[in-house]
Structure 1
Amino acid sequence: MQERMTERGHNGDVPEDKAQAALETTNDDAHVETADSTYVSTGVLSVVVISVCCASFLVGLDQTIVAGAAPRITISFHALGDIGWWASAYLLTSASLQLVYGRLYTLFSTKWTYISAIAIFSIGSLICAVAPNSVAFIVGRAIAGSGAAGMMSGSVLVCFGINLPICASTVLGVCFSVKRRDKIHQKKSWQEKIRHFDLPGTILLTTALVCLILALQLGGIVYSWSNGRVIALFVVSGIVSLVFLLVQIMLPSQRSFPAEIIRNRNVSLAALFSGFISGGMFVVITYLPIWFQAVKGASALRSGGMMTPIIAPFVVMSALSGGITQAIGYYNPAIFFGVILATTGAGLLTTFDSTTTSSRQWIGYQLVYGLGAGAGVPSPMLVIQTVLSTANVPIGVSLVNLTQMLWSSVVVAIAQSVFVNELEKAVKAAPPNFDVSLLIKSGAADLGNTYTVEHLEKAIPAYSKAISRTFYIATALSCAALFLAAPVRWKSMKKKV
């Protein structure tokens, strides 16, 4: 009895040295993880936080930077029809690579995966900064989106140049501050890591998305909707999407998302809601600056200031709704409040007119929409964190990000088609000597330097009407988001899953 007490200690616990030995022999991986997970000093932690915040700022900046610069860029490149591509290329690669980066962060060093993503983003930003034409600019945007996908998972043309010094400082901060050795990742062979990649799913999904975006961009602009090329792209996109679904069903080992997450009604609804509400906002922030510069004659800098009524409420409401939601314990009120205001605001934006819309109106309408989007956009993440276990939250977040970027890229492409088609329709009643093709090929700013006073009276209303038509898309998406929000379960955020 005495020997037994001595063996187990006075409180019946295994002695520390033997417990440690048992831990080492039975759970080596866990031991390695514990040994490496040391706390860092306040100074080092501050550098890491600042570095990650800088990277997150760049991702957010690049999602919206084209909006304010687009009218001025169209003058340099003479490519008004490519506005949708400048946004879609970035969003498309950001969406399609979400799953790839999710696995990279799981199988490889978090530190070096993050730095590699920043490097890719920097290369894309450099290409955008020095792009001589629209095609090069689109390529740069696609490359930047490829890097931004990893930066998201981890945390005017010369405007693009400011990304480079911030990226450099971020890389230095991460390199010298993050010292953790990823022994668990190092112990896995390359064959084991590659086996965990969903290469078939990634290739199929990317192919389907590219074909769909190409069809939406070319249809009705470069070719008619009945053109064989456009139809073929739609057909290929549909077939490849079907194959992607079959792979997910027939090959469980290559499944992009666990079945239990896909089958969770609340996760699917939250992801779709995020795509609808975010897609509508991308349309608004893409075409509002064009309206200010083409219709109101504002400069690129001034148009950015004129968008303050939508950006400031969005930021404030995002933080405010998050705090209120935490206090209430339920995310549903913020979702409904946001989507109702967003629908109302988007509907008001459709009334924009070149002559009758006053400053009080365009300020007030933006304010309503900004408050709604600010409350609605962050809410799906709260749903994911509440309805899923801690282990499944990261993959749930990836699903929301994927849907958000995917829907946004598709919606912006649709909006571009609507904008160009409506622009051509709006000038059909123009004078005989009015050059309609010049309206499409010219830039969206400084129309006074392109047309005479007589023709300008036709061009400005044409722009205003075409842009207001794109806001109908944002309105429809917000309305649809309301129906997606209704079935979401009311679950207390203060209770464990």
Structure 2
Amino acid sequence: MAEQERVAMDNITALEPATAGASLPAEHSPVEHTREPLDLLETPKVRTKLRLYAILLALYLVLFIAALDQTIVATSIPTISAALHSASGYVWIGGAYLLANAASCPIWAKCSDIWGPVSTSMQTLIAARALQGTAGGGLGQLVTITISDLFSEGLLAVDWFGTLSILAVTLLLLLGLDFGGAIFPWTSPKVICLVVFGTLMIGFFLFSEQHLAKYPLMPLSMFKSWSNNATFLVAFAHSMVSIGVEYYLPLYFQSVKQASPFRSGILILPMMVTEAAVDIIVGILIHQTSRYREITWAGATLMTLGTGLYINFRTNTPVARIVGFEIIGGIGTALLFQAPMIAIQNTVSQANTASATATLGFFRSLATSLSLVLGGVVFQNSMDARQSSLAATGLSESILEALSGDQAAANVEIVKSIQNARQRHVVLDAFAWSLRNMFIMYTCVAAVAMVASAFVKHQRLCKEHTETKTGIQHLTERVA
């Protein structure tokens, strides 16, 4: 190959003097004809397996850190809420992270489409490091002005209407659902305005994506397929159930079982270990069989079964039964971590893969935020519904206040101060009943995933990779 390139270059060199003064048209120039084979002589870069595994390891480590942040505080939330004297913070300790995560997913994906996933210049790298420092510790200022000077064309390509409207939808609806029934009554003008304007912003977002955005945040063409819609719904329901169970099982352990945060973490380990092991097996299985539809069916069914079994948790449920139920539920949720992503990527064009992946990620992130809010609302309303039975046992006003809907999750340790056995049993039963109602809600959501999974179509997995270039110039070519 090297010898062929040398000969080709010699031919070009030899021809140049003879044609230097010729008046031939440019398209007939022999120089041009001798240059064409050079493009064919370029050998594609081969990525070794070692380099591939190193890249995957680095990416998975980043994903691990991000995923760890979602649930690492779950077992400590009751203690944190009690120490900081903020019951409303129970939901928002996790919800604030998940809300920001959900709102920013489409933005990052579209930035990747416009500028590419990696830095191509020193200016881009410096700007990214500045943003990373801001997110990590809040030690620097935003570099919006600098970026706008360097990449004005790219910033004009960002779907700002779509970005701002999806942020508004996420914030308004989640705040409305969180405030309703907990901080303000559902009939409060504040709650009504948040929900109404959040709903209206959905309409504006759809209008923006259809008519205003040159490069839409979420191409609406993806939603014309029943299979795609079913896949999005499965992923949405799966994320709602999985994060809800991971956050509120520790509440069951610490309230009903009166376990310490450390023991609560130990008790939830069977589910987490099962999910990790099964997720690895699923990846291997899909790679070997190229089948993901059956895995989606099985995952949705087992997730519904496992979540339904949590409804049976009572004050006297033995640990062995709890572990068994966790394993069943863990298998179900683990089967659905990868399958929906593969399904959606396999049904859209290569050019829309990034947008489809980001849309799925957005729905997952939105579901996790919504899950904690709705779970908290169900729990709080259920605890309020048991106030009369708690008061009938003769509990003091201070304890009743601590066990009210918006305070109960932060006061699980108050049960230890109740000396009367009957009062103690009624309080534990109120916690168990409220959590039971919450798991009923999650079971219904899991059932939605089970029904939706029936509409997920299977397509043969493509084993050939088609290279798609990113950047504003390539986006322009696609639109044209």
TM-score by length of 1: 0.76
After TM superposition, give the deviation of residue 52 of structure 1 in Å.
3.4
User: What is the aligned partner in structure 2 of residue 78 from structure 1?
Assistant: 85
User: What is the aligned partner in structure 2 of residue 390 from structure 1?
Assistant: 350
Moved more, 236-245 or 389-398: 389-398
C-alpha contact (below 8 Å) 1:343/1:478 kept by paired residues: yes
2:123 is the counterpart of 1:106: no
C-alpha contact (below 8 Å) 2:106/2:217 kept by paired residues: yes
1:4-41 per-residue CA deviation (whole Å, 9 max, x = no partner) reads xx89xxxxxx9997137779xxxxxxx9xx99x89799
1:407-455 per-residue CA deviation (whole Å, 9 max, x = no partner) reads 2211221111111111121232123443322124363442345544454
2:367 is paired with a residue whose SS is helix
Which among 327, 331, 336 is matched to residue 371 of structure 1? 331
Which among 19, 22, 28 is matched to residue 36 of structure 2? 19
- Residue identity in the other structure for 1:487: F
After TM superposition, give the deviation of residue 80 of structure 1 in Å.
2.8
2:75 is the counterpart of 1:61: no
After TM superposition, give the deviation of residue 44 of structure 1 in Å.
11
2:106 is paired with a residue whose SS is helix
Q: Percent identity?
A: 22
TM-score by length of 2: 0.78
In structure 2, do the counterparts of structure 1 residues 331 and 439 end up closer, same or farther at CA, with 3 Å as the change threshold? same
CA distance in 2, matches of 1:41, 1:329: 21
User: What is the aligned partner in structure 2 of residue 447 from structure 1?
Assistant: 414
- Residue identity in the other structure for 2:35: K
2:403 is paired with a residue whose SS is helix
CA distance in 2, matches of 1:217, 1:313: 32
In structure 2, do the counterparts of structure 1 residues 323 and 88 end up closer, same or farther at CA, with 3 Å as the change threshold? same
After TM superposition, give the deviation of residue 120 of structure 1 in Å.
4.4
| Aligned ranges 1:125-204 → 2 under 5 Å | 190-204=151-165
- Residue identity in the other structure for 2:414: L
CA distance in 1, matches of 2:74, 2:346: 34
- Residue identity in the other structure for 2:381: N
User: What is the aligned partner in structure 2 of residue 122 from structure 1?
Assistant: 136
2:236 is the counterpart of 1:275: yes
User: What is the aligned partner in structure 1 of residue 375 from structure 2?
Assistant: 415
2:178 is the counterpart of 1:217: yes
CA distance in 2, matches of 1:392, 1:457: 56
1:56 is paired with a residue whose SS is helix
User: What is the aligned partner in structure 1 of residue 271 from structure 2?
Assistant: 310
2:459 is the counterpart of 1:491: yes
1:492 is paired with a residue whose SS is coil
2:64 is the counterpart of 1:96: no
Could you tell me which runs of 5 or more consecutive residues in structure 2 were left unpaired when the two chains were aligned: 1-10, 13-30, 120-124, 140-146, 467-480
C-alpha contact (below 8 Å) 1:71/1:444 kept by paired residues: yes
1:468 is paired with a residue whose SS is helix
User: What is the aligned partner in structure 2 of residue 153 from structure 1?
Assistant: none
CA distance in 2, matches of 1:487, 1:38: 39
C-alpha contact (below 8 Å) 1:204/1:244 kept by paired residues: yes
1:51-89 per-residue CA deviation (whole Å, 9 max, x = no partner) reads 433322111111111211112112212223332222222
- Residue identity in the other structure for 2:337: V
C-alpha contact (below 8 Å) 2:236/2:363 kept by paired residues: yes
C-alpha contact (below 8 Å) 1:294/1:463 kept by paired residues: yes
Moved more, 405-414 or 102-111: 102-111
User: What is the aligned partner in structure 1 of residue 307 from structure 2?
Assistant: 346
2:444 is the counterpart of 1:476: yes
C-alpha contact (below 8 Å) 1:338/1:373 kept by paired residues: yes
1:61 is paired with a residue whose SS is helix
Question: Number of residue pairs matched?
Answer: 416
CA distance in 2, matches of 1:192, 1:300: 51
After TM superposition, give the deviation of residue 354 of structure 1 in Å.
1.0
In structure 2, do the counterparts of structure 1 residues 265 and 117 end up closer, same or farther at CA, with 3 Å as the change threshold? farther
Moved more, 457-466 or 275-284: 457-466
1:361-416 per-residue CA deviation (whole Å, 9 max, x = no partner) reads 11111111000000122211110232223332222110110011112211221111
- Residue identity in the other structure for 2:401: S
C-alpha contact (below 8 Å) 2:177/2:374 kept by paired residues: yes
After TM superposition, give the deviation of residue 265 of structure 1 in Å.
3.0
**How large is the RMSD of aligned CA atoms in angstroms?**
3.3
CA distance in 1, matches of 2:249, 2:241: 12
1:246-280 per-residue CA deviation (whole Å, 9 max, x = no partner) reads 11122241522234333233222212210111111
Higher Rg of the two aligned structures: 2
C-alpha contact (below 8 Å) 1:331/1:383 kept by paired residues: yes
After TM superposition, give the deviation of residue 348 of structure 1 in Å.
0.5
CA distance in 2, matches of 1:19, 1:341: 58
CA distance in 2, matches of 1:121, 1:453: 50
In structure 2, do the counterparts of structure 1 residues 366 and 265 end up closer, same or farther at CA, with 3 Å as the change threshold? same
